[in-house]
Amino acid sequence: MVDERILAERLISYDTSRQEELLAAAGFVKGWLESRDIQVRHIDHGGLPVLVAEVGPSTGTPCVVLHGHLDVVPGREEQFHPRLQGDRLIGRGAYDMKGGLASMMCALKDLEGQERVRVRLVCVPDEESEELDERSTDEVVRLGLGGDFAITGEPTDLHIGVEAKGVLAMRIEVHGRAAHSSTPWLGDNAVLKAIDAFRAIQSLPFARESSEMFDRPSINLGRIEGGDALNKVPDLCQMAVDIRHLPGQDPDEILAQVGTIEGIEVTRTFIHPPVAVARSDPYVRALRDAVARSTPDMEIMSVGRDGASDAAAFIAAGIPAVEFGPAGAGHHGPEEWVSLSSLARYRRALVDFVRAAPIWLSPASGSPGPEPGEPGLKAIEGGRRCV
């Protein structure tokens, strides 16, 4: 049996924040699958590779999509040299989500011989991109490759992500009045005004709203730039604000609230919808049961994730989709790591979910799993509000 740890280490070694390394990593994934007699389709999306591989029957059965991404946020050079520390595999992308992708690749091979479910692995190159209006996952779904149920392998600590926040990114321009730095009281400092404007955003009505899964929206000042000389009071400041809004919140209403702040000009730069799938969905509940069987020593919970999700592309097409990935911590940080034991558990859970198809496909079996509201379904992120 192929060791998912070795495969994860190889994937981490590619600095896939850079296009040339991303191309090389995609070539490795394609070669690994094809060397195991799994045919791979290559789709070009803006010069970047999207890989699609399938096992199982070609027609007449449900199709489950295992969705992963190869790209990572930039990291230091040493982060692309994976290292072991006990159960932890440390490196850029270990948790988000090359460890999960390695387990998905192994699970695809494990499921090659079953005849109940079509299993489609979709590997995309742009999940971390800021150009959220042009995701390759959207193109995959448009091409009819969305299947009947999708699992995107974002890190969830082996819980099931049934909700994710949406994204509203905006550029804000603030004007002031220039003056000599020795007499700042004669000017109107645009940088200070921008900081005040950001604080005002944090106190708007939308920022104080909550939901079953989330205590509040997330508001981040991602970039700020102002001033063109040290000895001058800056008369212009621009900042980029990233708002992760709750399912049910209207981004246009949020923009309208931000626009009420005096002295600023607001431009929406991109928007990405939130994700919400019913915990009572038969596929979701069947997945929960499979995870519980594979990890009997832990409580399996449904969770809300603060980050945006490519599952939105599937949801928009009417395809139920969840986030489900291995355990770890530190994604996008200096000490990102994934639990090796959880990679094995994750792989087993995916395989068990598909192989249990005779149970959850049988009309006589009824809806699998516990009813909504029974123990085991809780929200743990976004302020850890439990239901």
Instruction: Give the 3-state secondary structure of 158-202.
Output: CCEEEEECEEEEEEEEEECECCECCCHHHCECHHHHHHHHHHHHH
Of 272, 288, 315, the one marking the end of a domain is 272
220 found inside a domain: yes
Confidence of residue 357 (pLDDT cuts 50, 70, 90): confident
By C-alpha distance, which of 57, 116, 144, 156 is closest to 351? 116
DSSP bridge pairs for 305? 164
Residues of the chain with pLDDT > 70, as a percent, come to: 91
Would 315 be classed as within a structural domain?
A: yes
User: Are 279 and 131 members of one domain?
Assistant: yes
The answer to whether the beta carbons of residues 27 and 16 sit under 8 Å apart is no
* Percentage above 90 pLDDT, the chain: 73
Based on the fold, state whether residues 121 and 185 are members of the same structural domain: no
Residues 70 and 140 in one domain: yes
For residue 255, give the 3-state DSSP assignment.
Answer: helix
**Alpha carbon distance 242, 357 (integer Å):** 41
Q: Which of 190, 174, 199, 187 minimizes the C-alpha distance to 227?
A: 190
Q: Is the pLDDT of residue 189 over 80?
A: yes
pLDDT at 174: 97
- Predicted confidence (pLDDT) at residue 371 exceeds the cutoff of 50: no
The predicted structure's pLDDT at residue 386:
29
Say if 333 falls within a structural domain: yes
Under the banding of pLDDT at 50, 70 and 90, the label for residue 370 is very low
Residues 22 and 127 in one domain: yes
Rounded CA gap, 332 and 220, in Å? 15
Confidence of residue 133 (pLDDT cuts 50, 70, 90): low
Mean pLDDT over 183-195 rounds to 97
Lowest model confidence (mean pLDDT) among 102-111, 243-252, 300-309, 353-362: 353-362
CATH code (residue 229): 3.30.70.360
Specify the pLDDT at position 383: 34
Cβ(379)–Cβ(303) below 8 Å: yes
- List, in sequence order, every residue forming a beta bridge with 68; answer none if it has no partner: 123
Whether residue 372 is contained in a domain is answered as no
pLDDT at 272 exceeding the cut of 90: no
In a domain, 378, yes or no: no
**Tokens standing for residue 289:** 């049961």
Q: What is the pLDDT of residue 95?
A: 96
Q: How many helices (H) and strands (E) does the chain have?
A: 10, 17
Cis preceding linkage at 105, omega within 30: no
Burial (Cβ within 10 Å: 0-12, 13-18, ≥19) of residue 330: middle
Q: Is pLDDT larger for residue 367 or for residue 158?
A: 158
Taking residues 154-169, what's their average pLDDT?
A: 92
The domain spanning residue 127 has which CATH number?
3.40.630.10
**Which residue matches tokens 């150009």?**
131
Claim to verify: residue 120 and residue 225 sit in the same structural domain:
no
Tell me the average pLDDT across 192-197.
97
What is the DSSP secondary structure assignment for residue 111, as one 8-state letter?
A: T
> Do 349 and 218 share a structural domain?
no
Q: For the chain, what is the radius of gyration of the CA atoms?
A: 23
Q: Dump pLDDT digits (tens) for 149-159.
A: 999 999 999 99
Q: Give 1's pLDDT tier (boundaries 50, 70, 90).
A: low
Please state the rounded mean pLDDT for residues 39-48: 94
Confidence (pLDDT) at 301: 85
Alpha helices in the chain (DSSP H): 4-12, 19-34, 99-110, 136-142, 190-202, 251-259, 282-294, 311-316, 340-355, 357-360
User: What is the overall mean pLDDT for the chain?
Assistant: 89
Q: Are residues 18 and 111 in the same domain?
A: yes
pLDDT at 379 over 70: no
CA distance 156 to 9: 20
Q: Any idea what the Cα angle at residue 54 is, between residues 56 and 110, rounded to 5°?
A: 65
In angstroms, the Cα distances linking 124 to 45, 54, 201, 311 are 9, 15, 34, 12
**Does residue 150 fall inside a structural domain?**
yes
Structure tokens at 173: 């321009």
CA angle centred on 29, ends 23 and 32, rounded to 5°: 140
Residues 156, 43, single domain; the answer is: yes
Please report whether residue 115 resides in a domain. yes
385, part of any domain: no
Q: Which residue has the higher pLDDT, 269 or 308?
A: 269
Residue 361's pLDDT is 60
3-state DSSP call for residue 108?
helix
* 170 vs 270 pLDDT, higher one: 170
Contact criterion met (CB below 8 Å) for 301 and 378: yes
- Please say if the pLDDT value at position 246 is more than 90: yes
The verdict on 180 and 300 lying in the same domain is no
Q: Mean pLDDT, to the nearest integer, of 176-191?
A: 96
> pLDDT at position 380, please?
41
pLDDT of residue 154: 92
How many structural domains compose the chain? 2
Same-domain status, 17 and 125: yes
Q: What pLDDT was estimated at residue 132?
A: 52
Domain that holds residue 150: 4-164+275-365
Examine the domain organization and report whether 148 and 247 are in the same domain: no
Cα–Cα distance, 204 to 113 (Å, whole number): 55
pLDDT exceeds cutoff 60 at 364: no
Same domain, 302 and 228: no
pLDDT interval class at 130 (50, 70, 90): low
- For residue range 206-234, list pLDDT tens digits in order: 999 999 889 999 999 999 999 999 999 99
